[in-house]
């Protein structure tokens, strides 16, 4: 007896089953809907966002390199650069009476700034290891490795974007990328959401600054007290002799 053939469901229409790290997604929800439709033509790759992104990339790249060489780790610059991009372009529009930057222009600035930090981190954790192994690296070789590493990342992202972002938009969460996108959307829509983002950034910055002052103050007191103890000990020894 021959069993009837089973119909195969199309892979793109099959709903994702619920697992420990994701919820069940229907076929309608699985289709990716971008915030900016493909048929909408707005400015994106313009000179000013590229220049601002390059400057922010240099600043965050230098700070990332210092941190990775000093303590062996660093922080991601995606969200800070996104907030700074929105703030800078809003200031430009108010001062020079120009149009406000679009969400795509802010995204270009955020991408360029965070890419500088990422490349600096990659160089900071690989080049010292090669130096420890005995390789004598010149500055031209380090620059060449940095450029080729950035180009390799861009070229690999072109074929992987559709597979890992478009088709798996509802399955792969990407927490940092999602948070950065929400920051850019808040800056685009304005209102209470944008005010909340900037208020949170200001509060976090002030808290970090206060913590740093407190740590520096305690360190200074310990160093001063240690210096006073050493001076008192040396005077006591001189008096006894």
Summarised one tens digit per residue, pLDDT across range 154-201 is: 899 888 988 888 888 778 888 888 889 888 988 888 755 556 666 766
Per the listing, tokens 């478009």 go with: 166
* Predicted local confidence at residue 48, as pLDDT: 93
Q: Which residue has the higher pLDDT, 146 or 229?
A: 146
Question: Are 69 and 165 contained in the same domain?
Answer: yes
Residues in the chain, total: 241
Question: Are 165 and 79 contained in the same domain?
Answer: yes
Domain count across the chain? 2
**Domain assignment of residue 232, given as a range:** 191-241
203 domain residue, yes or no: yes
Question: Are 143 and 201 contained in the same domain?
Answer: no
94 domain residue, yes or no: yes
Question: Are 160 and 205 contained in the same domain?
Answer: no
Give 115-134 pLDDT, tens digit per residue. 988 899 889 988 988 888 98
Percent over 70 (pLDDT), the chain = 66
Q: What angle do CA 104, 179, 69 make, to 5 degrees?
A: 95
Question: Are 165 and 205 contained in the same domain?
Answer: no
Mean pLDDT of 85-105: 90
Mean pLDDT of 51-58: 94
14 domain residue, yes or no: no
CA 140, CA 146: separation in Å to the nearest integer? 10
CA 52, CA 85: separation in Å to the nearest integer? 8
Question: Are 114 and 51 contained in the same domain?
Answer: yes
Q: What angle do CA 52, 123, 45 make, to 5 degrees?
A: 25
Question: Are 163 and 221 contained in the same domain?
Answer: no
23 domain residue, yes or no: no
pTM (global) more than 0.85: no
Per the listing, tokens 């010292």 go with: 128
Residue 97: count other Cβ atoms within 10 Å of its Cβ: 7
């Amino acid at each position: 007896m021959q069993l009837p053939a089973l119909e195969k469901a199309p892979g793109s229409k099959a709903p994702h089953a619920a697992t420990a790290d994701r919820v069940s997604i229907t076929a309608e929800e699985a289709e990716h809907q971008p915030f900016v439709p493909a048929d909408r033509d707005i400015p994106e790759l313009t000179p000013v966002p590229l220049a601002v992104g390059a400057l922010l990339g240099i600043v965050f790249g230098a700070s990332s390199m210092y941190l990775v060489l000093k303590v062996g780790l660093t922080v991601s610059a995606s969200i800070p650069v996104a907030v700074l991009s929105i703030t800078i372009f809003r200031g430009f529009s108010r001062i020079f009476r120009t149009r406000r930057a679009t969400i795509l222009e802010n995204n270009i600035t955020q991408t360029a700034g965070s890419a500088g930090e990422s490349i600096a981190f990659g160089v900071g954790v690989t080049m010292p290891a090669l130096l420890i192994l005995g390789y004598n690296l010149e500055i031209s070789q380090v620059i060449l490795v940095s450029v080729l590493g950035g180009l390799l990342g861009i070229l690999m992202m072109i074929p992987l974007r559709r597979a890992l972002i478009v088709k798996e938009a509802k399955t792969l969460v990407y927490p940092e990328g999602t948070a950065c996108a929400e920051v850019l959307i808040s800056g685009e829509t304005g209102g209470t959401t944008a005010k909340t983002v900037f208020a949170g950034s200001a509060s976090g910055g002030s808290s970090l600054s206060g913590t740093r002052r407190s740590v520096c103050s305690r360190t200074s007191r310990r160093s001063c007290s240690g210096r006073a103890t050493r001076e008192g000990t040396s005077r006591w020894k001189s008096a006894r002799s």
